[in-house]
Amino acid sequence: CVSRLDRGDENARLDFFSAQELTSCAGQGDGCAGGNAPAAFYHMKSEGLAREECSPYRMRCFNDDTGISQSAADSETSQHRSSHFDSSTQACPLKPDPMTSPCKCLPSVFHLASPVSCDLLPDACPKTKVPHYFFIAGTAEGSTIPLLERHMMQELLLAGPLYVSLLLYQDFYDPVSWTESGIYVHKRGDVLGKHAVAAVGWGTDAESRDYWLLLNSFGSGWQQEGYFKVLRGESALEMTKFGAWGTDWSHPDKDRSKPTIADVELAFSPVLADVADAASGSLGNVYLMASAFTDEPARLLVRIQGLSNTVTGQVKDSEYKVEHVLKLDLLDIGLLDDRAKVQLWAVDRAQNTASWGPYTLEVPSKRTFLLAQS
């Protein structure tokens, strides 16, 4: 969009990716009823997405030629400001022709539904792949709120809008919970679920309240032309807990996305040299077992280092994979009865590297392992 504006293109406008294709085809999620950000961003990188105009959001049919991808679909929740909006009782065709069909089809704001099967979506749409995506750690990953907010502001300026998620409460639909400047402040009601929006900016209102400016998916007829605000800092919405995801188009021909390391599990696995010799203290091996998943094929390296004797050992994958199970013999390297730190690294085929840890653990003594086996 910015590039087209720079060239003086009068037709430059917001150009949306297909939300329906993302919810239907990315996998590891339940569409609008619960998705998976790492899987979604990896799908955009590996498979690409069609444009909204070619693969529109589907569930209910209505006509709208404003160029905005998700004009409000529910009169109960918003006032339609578009003069081009025309509700329709027409059923959504399974395979609408993007060149001739007048339909766009949106789900009800209040009624979640299973996503349309991926194989029912238009299969001839051109795809655009995201060259690079990144994650900004939230407080759940050990970051601090000032660090997260500083990083988010930097990336909003450099890379553009960010994906963020927050908790949604019943009073989200209550006018009492909104300030005159358009800031949603949770006051009462139960949690409805977790909601995904786009962070596009930040500011301070006339009453000195710092806020994030967010773009919702309810359409241009909702709140301030589809935008709303939430307070910055710590709040009941827990936006800072979940962190943020973004894309970088500065080097479209180069893969710069780091693999994501998830579901890390560490465990000890002692092995007796001879079961009959357990009482005499004969241990054959004491393995540190490390398992993890990555969101793309990568090679994983596990390193452990003693904190008092500085003994170090490591083991790594021999091939690229997404499911990793590695073991390292602590008895062989002489790392028992000590505190140690463990760290993981993952490198993908483009040599992008991600890390996990360090994580500190207690390594039991040889005697403790033997007693556990006897």
pLDDT per position in the chain (374 positions), as tens? 333 444 455 555 566 788 888 888 886 555 555 667 888 888 888 888 888 888 876 644 444 443 333 333 333 333 333 344 444 445 445 555 555 555 544 433 333 345 567 777 777 888 888 888 889 989 988 899 999 999 999 999 988 899 999 998 888 888 888 998 889 999 988 888 888 899 999 999 999 999 999 998 777 778 888 899 999 999 899 999 999 999 887 777 777 778 889 889 999 999 887 655 545 558 889 999 999 999 889 999 999 999 988 899 999 999 999 999 999 999 999 999 999 999 999 999 888 899 998 999 999 998 888 888 76
Please, what is the end-to-end C-alpha distance for the chain in angstroms? Answer: 69
Is 261-373 a domain of CATH 2.60.40.10? yes
Q: Name residues whose C-beta falls within 8 Å of residue 13's C-beta, 6 or more positions apart in sequence.
A: 1, 67
Q: Which CATH class is domain 133-247?
A: alpha beta
Pick from 268, 271, 273: nearest CA to 304: 268
- Residue 18 has a pLDDT of 85
The CA–CA distances, whole Å, from 51 to 22, 55, 271 equal: 11, 6, 56
Start-end of CATH 3.90.70.10 domains in the chain: 133-247
* Helix extents (H) in 1-124: 2-6, 19-25, 37-46
Assess whether the previous peptide bond of 364 is cis (omega < 30° from 0): no
What per-residue confidence (pLDDT) applies to 80?
A: 35
CATH code 2.60.40.10 region(s) in the chain = 261-373
The predicted pLDDT at position 29 comes to 54
pLDDT at 87: 46
